[in-house]
Amino acid sequence: MSSHPAQGEFVKVGPMGYGLSTFYIGYCVQVRKKAGLHGSHQVFLRHPDGSTVCHENQGFFSLSDEQVLMAKSIFDTPSEEEDYARGYRCSQGIHRIGFVIEPEPANNN
């Protein structure tokens, strides 16, 4: 895996210590480079219930082909039907379209 999951790639999220176990599996819909806390990437995952959650400062583990088949069976929105063109909005309300979003240049005014 590169520094982030590929578009549509199913992954298991590294240890979070909280939440429902269904939020440990998701497929990647967007990456915002260096937009997270401490300059980490923000990785947006679609979870089984259809929600999109922004993960940052976490590791991700690729799933085997067999695990991907099992994971697909519990998703409301299949990865093949994801409408990536509409973009995604983070909790701060910032909407971006595209898969890999590069950092915005610093404003040195």
In a domain, 106, yes or no: no
In a domain, 2, yes or no: no
pLDDT digits (tens, 9 = 90+) for 46-99: 999 999 999 988 889 999 999 999 999 999 888 999 999 999 998 889 999 999
In a domain, 87, yes or no: yes
- Contacts of range 89-97, beta carbons closer than 8 Å, 24 or more positions apart: 90/32, 90/42, 90/44, 90/54, 91/54, 96/30, 96/32
pLDDT digits (tens, 9 = 90+) for 84-109: 999 999 888 999 999 999 988 776 55
Range of the domain at 28: 10-101
In a domain, 69, yes or no: yes
Name the token pair of 88: 């995604």
Burial class (CB in 10 A: 0-12, 13-18, 19+), 66: exposed
In a domain, 5, yes or no: no
